[in-house]
């Protein structure tokens, strides 16, 4: 017998979830089951198995898709729960697994559930690369015919389970624009002798940092006679503040993906013309002992129902998800907007009314590695999500009453977790992420966030830890004014949010937008928010445009260079019983940007030195009930 979480939701009492007992039994229809078990059908899968076998523990299937098919097609003598056990090993996918309503359970009187449970199992969208030989100067190289033929391209590489660095210049830190070009868009001037010509310029990418987002674009030319860098289309998207000097006159940038930049151990370069992958070995590494993986698919799991028939009671337990590809953008140009949203060019045959040979295509966000739409009462329980090219897990359209419990997200290219949508259609409701960890999101698209909550109702981030983020830790809302929307009663409670805003500006450990009645930011421990490198402040909490009807209480905010709270064009909000440490260089506790001070009610907030305020916070909250204000 073994314990397993019963995926019944008792919201906001998550520590009290019940347990169910299951039996490791053969993959066969069960008539009479143990009194403590409601399992009527079990299958087993192993990377060493065979899809021609019956799917028992002794003779497991080889693929998850085969077990999924068997669950659909096997009739049982009575109704009950069904399960698939993924035995130890790595399951390589060449296309995503798709789950529809027939793959889940039910929420009728019978309340049937379907479980996919891992036993040291990893579902991967990657491909092992081998055949490396010495290439001189501490580098190794291997041939990739698929790359040369144009059938495979990747911008992420993992060596011995670590994201390797795409060869870049400079190796650390950034260069600064010396002077902006006349049109503020297509070119800028660099400091003399900072950049040198490279033979493979057509493969080089410029990474340009705006205040809270980035541009990624090819490079057209580097002219060392005039110290001028030009891009094929432009830097920045549709609005004027995306100009090269829109935020600051000497913005940061770097270049990546040239063989000439391959000069530090741990870097790599993909020569798409010759179909060769180069890697510079670290100390102790050899061509024979490196395990190199590159992604081949951008999505691992797609679960999608309909508005009237959602996927229900489908549960993933103790599984690892790894290695997904970046969704390549049109013209290899990414103009970031905010939190992983972007626009990309659509080329034209004739100029538009602004004289440009392209139009803007606006994208709310790329599909996630694990994408759920019209999904209800489903869970991710004790799963790990690592080494993703873009967005991680997205509970999107009309997702309702789903739970992400005790999961870990690490090394994600864009947003690690997303809940909700970017408009008021198909509002997600009553979803929870609890006791989970998010670290190192936004590793490719630096303006993405750890956890993104869009226009949702009753979304809760509960006792999670989010840290090491280039931009914001947790973002709530998607409306830039106080007009009522479907967003309401969203919560960030009891979280540990630290070392956020490490690269960009104009955000915080928590960032909010729009009117969200009944929403609460409470009992959070926020610290180590550094001085902003860009123009705008970085704060413990940044309550941005339209933020209205929030309660901000019992938060500890320390070690922030800028004021702990900042309000910008915000409506009426309450901040009470919070604990702030003062920065002697920036002693203000609140910044009001275009916000009438009378809009913000401040009550019984404590300030002092860090040591004093930590003790006061602990003594104040230690005997308090963790109040979720049941709704």
Lowest mean pLDDT among 26-35, 294-303, 535-544, 550-559: 26-35
* % of the chain surpassing 70 pLDDT: 92
Question: pLDDT-derived band of residue 622, with 50, 70 and 90 as boundaries?
Answer: confident
pLDDT, average across residues 513-533: 96
* % of the chain surpassing 90 pLDDT: 88
Q: Pull the structure tokens for residue 300.
A: 């691992």
Question: pLDDT-derived band of residue 455, with 50, 70 and 90 as boundaries?
Answer: very high
pLDDT value for 585: 75
> Which residue ranges make up each domain of the chain?
128-295, 407-621
CB 422 within 8 A of CB 390: no
In CATH, the number for domain 407-621 is: 2.160.20.10
CA distances in angstroms from 534 to 181, 504, 505, 594, listed in the order given: 20, 6, 5, 20
pLDDT value for 15: 35
Whether 183 has a pLDDT exceeding 70, the answer reads yes
CB 264 within 8 A of CB 253: no
CB 563 within 8 A of CB 585: no
pLDDT value for 207: 98
For the stretch 253-266, pLDDT in tens is 999 999 999 999 99
- Report the 3 state secondary structure along 393-415: EEECCCCECCEEECCEEEEECCC
pLDDT, average across residues 538-547: 97
pLDDT, average across residues 442-467: 97
In DSSP terms, 169 is beta-bridged to 255
pLDDT, average across residues 582-605: 90
Whether 348 has a pLDDT exceeding 60, the answer reads yes
Q: Pull the structure tokens for residue 224.
A: 């060392």
Distant-in-sequence, close-in-space partners of 307: CB < 8 Å, separation ≥ 6? 374, 398, 426
pLDDT, average across residues 170-185: 96
Task: Give the number of other Cβ atoms within 10 Å of residue 441's Cβ.
Answer: 34
Instruction: Give yes or no for a cis peptide into 170 (omega within 30° of 0).
Output: yes
pLDDT value for 16: 33
- pTM, 2 dp: 0.93
CA distances in angstroms from 575 to 48, 509, 537, 602, 605, listed in the order given: 57, 16, 20, 5, 8
Rounded Cα–Cα distance for residues 118 and 86 (Å): 5
Q: Pull the structure tokens for residue 24.
A: 């490791």
For the stretch 375-406, pLDDT in tens is 999 999 999 999 999 999 999 999 999 999 99
pLDDT value for 534: 87
pLDDT value for 11: 39
For the stretch 80-128, pLDDT in tens is 999 999 999 999 999 999 999 999 999 876 789 999 999 999 999 999 9
Whether 424 has a pLDDT exceeding 60, the answer reads yes
pLDDT, average across residues 225-232: 97
For the stretch 132-157, pLDDT in tens is 999 999 999 999 999 999 999 999 99
Lowest mean pLDDT among 18-27, 31-40, 396-405, 576-585: 18-27
Mean pLDDT, all residues of the chain: 92
CB 199 within 8 A of CB 260: yes
Q: Is 601 helix (H, G, I), strand (E, B) or coil?
A: strand
DSSP calls for 431-453: -EEES-EEES--SSSTT--SEEE
pLDDT value for 629: 44
Question: pLDDT-derived band of residue 77, with 50, 70 and 90 as boundaries?
Answer: confident
Whether 472 has a pLDDT exceeding 90, the answer reads yes
pLDDT value for 626: 55
């Amino acid at each position: 017998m073994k314990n397993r979480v019963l995926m019944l939701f008792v919201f906001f009492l998550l520590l009290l979830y019940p347990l169910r007992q299951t039996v490791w039994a053969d993959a066969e229809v069960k008539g009479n089951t143990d009194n403590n078990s409601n399992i009527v059908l079990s299958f087993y899968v192993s990377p060493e198995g065979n899809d021609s076998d019956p799917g028992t523990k002794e003779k497991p299937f080889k693929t998850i898709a085969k077990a999924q098919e068997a669950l659909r097609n096997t009739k049982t003598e009575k109704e009950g729960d069904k399960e698939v056990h993924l035995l130890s090993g790595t399951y390589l996918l060449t296309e995503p697994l798709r789950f529809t309503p027939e793959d889940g359970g039910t929420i009728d009187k019978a309340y049937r559930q379907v479980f996919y449970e891992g036993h040291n199992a990893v579902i991967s969208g990657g491909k092992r690369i081998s055949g490396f030989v010495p290439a001189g100067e501490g580098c190794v190289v291997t041939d990739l015919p698929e790359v040369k033929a144009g059938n495979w391209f990747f911008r992420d590489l993992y060596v011995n389970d670590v994201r390797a660095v795409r060869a870049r210049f400079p190796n650390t830190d950034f260069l600064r624009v010396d002077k902006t070009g006349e049109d503020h868009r297509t070119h800028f001037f660099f400091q003399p002798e900072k950049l040198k010509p490279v033979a493979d310029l057509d493969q080089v990418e410029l990474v340009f940092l705006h205040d809270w987002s980035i541009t990624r674009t090819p490079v057209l030319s580097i002219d060392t006679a005039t110290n001028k860098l030009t891009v094929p289309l432009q830097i920045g998207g549709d609005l004027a503040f995306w100009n090269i000097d829109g935020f600051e006159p000497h913005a940061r940038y770097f270049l990546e993906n040239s063989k000439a930049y391959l000069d530090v151990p741990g870097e790599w370069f993909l020569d798409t013309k010759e179909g060769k992958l180069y890697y510079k070995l670290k100390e102790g590494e050899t061509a024979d002992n490196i395990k190199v993986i590159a992604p081949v698919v951008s999505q691992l799991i797609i679960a999608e129902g309909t508005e009237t028939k959602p996927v229900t009671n489908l549960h993933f337990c103790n599984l690892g998800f790894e290695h997904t590809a970046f969704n390549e953008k049109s013209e290899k140009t990414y103009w970031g907007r905010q939190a992983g949203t972007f626009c990309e060019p659509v080329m034209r045959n004739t100029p538009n009314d602004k004289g440009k040979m392209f139009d803007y295509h606006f994208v709310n966000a790329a599909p996630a590695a694990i994408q759920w739409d019209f999904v209800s009462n489903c869970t991710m329980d004790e799963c790990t999500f690592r080494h993703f090219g873009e967005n991680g897990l997205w509970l999107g359209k009309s997702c309702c009453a789903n739970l992400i419990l005790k999961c870990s997200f690490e090394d994600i290219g864009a947003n690690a977790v997303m809940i909700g949508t970017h408009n008021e259609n198909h509002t997600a409701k009553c979803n929870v992420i609890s006791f989970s960890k998010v670290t190192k999101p936004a590793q490719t698209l630096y303006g993405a966030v750890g956890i993104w909550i869009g226009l949702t109702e009753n979304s809760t981030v509960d006792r999670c830890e989010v840290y090491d983020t280039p931009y914001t830790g947790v973002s709530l809302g998607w409306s830039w004014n106080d007009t009522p929307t479907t967003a309401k009663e969203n919560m960030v409670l009891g979280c540990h949010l630290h070392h956020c805003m490490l690269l960009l500006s104009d955000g915080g450990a928590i960032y909010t937008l729009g009117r969200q009645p009944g929403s609460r930011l409470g009992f959070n421990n926020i610290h180590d928010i550094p001085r902003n490198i860009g123009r705008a402040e970085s704060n413990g909490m940044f309550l941005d445009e339209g933020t209205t009807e929030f309660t901000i209480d019992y938060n500890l905010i320390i070690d922030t260079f800028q004021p702990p709270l900042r309000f910008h064009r915000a409506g009426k909000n309450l901040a009470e019983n919070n604990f702030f440490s003062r920065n002697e260089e920036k002693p203000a506790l609140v910044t009001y940007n275009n916000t009438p001070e009378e809009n913000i009610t401040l009550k019984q907030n404590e300030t002092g030195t860090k040591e004093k305020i930590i003790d006061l916070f602990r003594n104040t909250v230690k005997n308090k009930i963790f109040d979720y204000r049941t709704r």
